[in-house]
Amino acid sequence: MAPPMAPAKWLVYRRLRDAPRNTPSQLYRLHHSRSCSASHPDWAAKSFIYARYDNSGFRVLARQAICILPDSPYSGMLRRILQTAGGNVKLCYLLTLFLTLSLAAPAVQAEDTAPDFNLRSPEGKRIHLKSLLEEGPVLLDFWATWCKPCVKAMPKLQKVYDKYKDQGLTVVGVNEDGPRGQAKVKPFLRSKKLTFPIALDLDSSVANRMRVTAYPTTLLLDQDGMIVYRQAGFTSGQEAKLIAEIEQILGVAETDSE
C-alpha cells in the first residue's frame, strides 16, 4: 500500500527505491535538495526524503533507525527528543539523517585493513600511516573542533597517549575541520593541552575511504594495519574497552584505567 503522499511524490519515492546506491559524502551534500532524489538515490536518501514528505513516516523512520543502531550516540539524543512533546523538529531530521547515513554504506569494519594515507600536521610535518605502522600499533581518532562529543573525548585520548606512547602505541588525531576551520586547530590543541600528533584531513578523503559517518570515530590498528577495534561516537566509560584492546595488542599486563 502506498504511503499517504501525492502521486508525483510517490513516483519520486519509487525512483529512489529502485535506483542504485551512491556514497555517504554525496548524500550529505545533496540531502537538502528534493530535486536530487531521482539522480542521487540511496537507502538513506530515499528514506530521509520520504520522511520529509510525511511526518508520521519520519517518526517511523526515526524509530527504525534507533532500533537498528541502538548504541549510536545519535540514537540516544533522538530518542530523548522523540519522547518530548514539541521537540526540536530540525534537530530530529538532522539526527535521523546521520543515522540513515550510517546505514547507507557499510563502514570499514574490524578485521579490515585500513587504507594508507599521507597527511600534513598543523606544523606542516608529514604523517604517513605506513611509516607509523612500521613502529607499532596505531590509534586513529577522527574528530573536529565543533564536535562536542569529540571535545569530551580528547582528555581521555590524551591519557591513553601519555600512558602507552612509550610502549609502542602511536596516537593520531585525524582532524575533520576542513580548510575553513584549519585556523581553529592549533588554538584548540593549546587550550586543551593536547600533545599527541594531529593530521589534517582537509578534504575528508581519509574519513570517506574509511567510511567514517560519525564523529568521533576511533580505530585501533595492529602493526599489519588490520583494524582490531572500531568505535563510533563517545560516551563516558567506553574507554575501558579500548584500553583492554590496546593492552592486548601491546601484550602488556592489564592495569587499572585512570
Q: Could you read off the pLDDT of 186-234 as tens digits, one per residue?
A: 999 999 999 999 999 998 889 888 878 778 889 999 999 999 988 877 7
Q: Are 216 and 149 in contact (CB under 8 A)?
A: yes
**Which CATH number applies to 118-250: 3.40.30.10, 3.40.50.300, 3.90.1150.10, 3.40.50.970?**
3.40.30.10
Compute CA distances 41 → 2, 102, 232, whole Å: 19, 15, 25
pLDDT digits (tens, 9 = 90+) for 96-132: 666 655 554 444 455 588 899 999 999 999 999 999 9
What pTM did the predictor assign?
A: 0.61
Phi, psi of 221 (to 5 degrees): -110, 135
Domain residue ranges in the chain: 7-104, 118-250
- The β-bridge relationship of strands 217-221 and 138-143 is antiparallel
> 217, exposed or middle or buried, with CB in 10 Å at 0-12, 13-18, 19+?
buried
Q: What is the average pLDDT score of the chain?
A: 73
Phi, psi of 87 (to 5 degrees): -65, 170
pLDDT digits (tens, 9 = 90+) for 169-191: 999 999 999 888 889 999 999 99
